[in-house]
Amino acid sequence: MIKLLVTGGAGFIGSNFIKYWMQKYPEDKILNLDLLTYAGNLDNLSDIKNSNYQFVKGDICNFELVDFLMKEFQPDFIINFAAESHNSLAILNPTAFFKTNLIGTQTLLEAARKNNIKRFHHISTCEVYGDLPLDSLEKFTEKTPYSPNTPYNASKAAADLAVKAYFKTFNLPITISNCANNYGPYQFPEKLIPLFISNLLEGKKVPLYKSSQNKREWVHVIDHCKAIDLILHKGKAGETYNIGTGVEKSVEEITSIILKSLSQLESMKEYVPDRPSHDRRYLLDSSKIMLELGWKPEIDFEKGMEETIKWYKGNEQWWKPLKQKKLIDETKWKNT
């Protein structure tokens, strides 16, 4: 039996991870610590009936709380999903992102060091590496120097460096995973794929940034969860692992896939002003996790997208209330 302290477990990736883990390892115990900010949603976890799962509402920046929970729960693993992760929102309120993503991570690291945690796993992003030209053949490896371009990316890069410093300085057993763009069920509907699906289901147009040829690498959230599982069980302390599929799609391509699936016309596209520092392209070299740990993506992108679209079509009661939380006014870009 393993005990996991999962931070940010009410969010998109965190909640999928908890459900994945509880299904595969029902005898393990999970404590979910989440502040329930805009993207945290306990409805994501409403179907969990396992008594080995517990939830605590709280802030990872609160050292007294996280120290108390580690002492009481005595987790084997800490998996840090907790983060502010909305690139556009970070432009309007960067302070909140640096507080949660850097100070919150450092607070968890210090409590983990104090309580002799066996492994601290930090969930990061491909965006810490910067971006690539659209016509480039390059890929980001785990050795690529960090070169973040936005406040969100910089806050995550800073957190990664803090995690690495705690390994080097204090010998805290850590691992880091830098993942490509996730998609799947329970993603907050301000993000690209669920926003476009839900807009079309409501009869609304889909807002594409003008740099709609920018590319992203896509991985299904369950494939991401399986990669974390392998890292926790087989990963080497102090190491970083890239998690990507090699499947690249531009915003235009993603939009066309969704339009076709929902039998909508191309005229439903609406172009809006681009955000500042909009990265062009991310692509990870994921050979390390594939060769060393035996991970490979199992969900075909086209099939995964069809299942994702079907999920949002069948779960309007989940996303409709969330869409009332208007977070971003793109007209503010000109004032930043």
Give the sign of the dihedral formed by CA 34, CA 37, CA 40, CA 42.
positive
Of all residues in the chain, the percent with pLDDT exceeding 70 is 95
Of all residues in the chain, the percent with pLDDT exceeding 90 is 83
What torsion do the CA atoms of 271, 314, 88, 37 make, to the nearest 10 degrees?
A: 160
Question: Out of 123-137, 157-171, 318-332, which region has the weakest mean confidence (pLDDT)?
Answer: 318-332
Instruction: Look up the CATH superfamily of 192-215+251-279+302-335.
Output: UDP-galactose 4-epimerase, domain 1 (3.90.25.10)
Residue of 135, 72, 175, 182 lying closest to 280 (CA atoms): 135
What confidence tier does 326 reach under pLDDT thresholds 50, 70, 90?
low
Question: Which CATH number among 3.30.70.20, 3.40.50.300, 3.30.1180.20, 3.40.50.720 corresponds to the domain 3-183+219-243?
Answer: 3.40.50.720
pLDDT of residue 336: 32
- Work out the average pLDDT over 193-213: 91
Question: Out of 55-64, 67-76, 217-226, 326-335, which region has the weakest mean confidence (pLDDT)?
Answer: 326-335
Q: Residue 193: pLDDT above 70?
A: yes
Q: Residue 186: pLDDT above 80?
A: yes
pLDDT of residue 327: 57
Query: For residue range 236-259, what is the model confidence (pLDDT) as tens digits?
Result: 999 999 999 999 999 999 999 999
Question: Out of 65-79, 89-103, 301-315, which region has the weakest mean confidence (pLDDT)?
Answer: 89-103
Count of beta carbons in the 10 Å neighbourhood of residue 298: 10
- Work out the average pLDDT over 137-147: 96
Query: For residue range 12-38, what is the model confidence (pLDDT) as tens digits?
Result: 999 999 999 999 999 999 999 999 998
- Work out the average pLDDT over 306-316: 98
Mean pLDDT across the chain: 93
Question: Out of 4-18, 84-98, 189-203, 224-238, which region has the weakest mean confidence (pLDDT)?
Answer: 84-98
pLDDT of residue 274: 67
- Work out the average pLDDT over 288-306: 98
Query: For residue range 264-291, what is the model confidence (pLDDT) as tens digits?
Result: 999 999 888 766 667 788 999 999 999 9
What are the residue ranges spanned by the domains of the chain? 3-183+219-243, 192-215+251-279+302-335
Q: Residue 85: pLDDT above 90?
A: no
Q: Residue 130: pLDDT above 80?
A: yes
Residue 113 in contact with residue 163, Cβ under 8 Å? no
Question: Out of 75-79, 98-102, 199-203, 274-278, which region has the weakest mean confidence (pLDDT)?
Answer: 274-278
C-alpha span between 13 and 74 (Å, rounded)? 23
Residue 285 in contact with residue 242, Cβ under 8 Å? yes
pLDDT of residue 314: 97
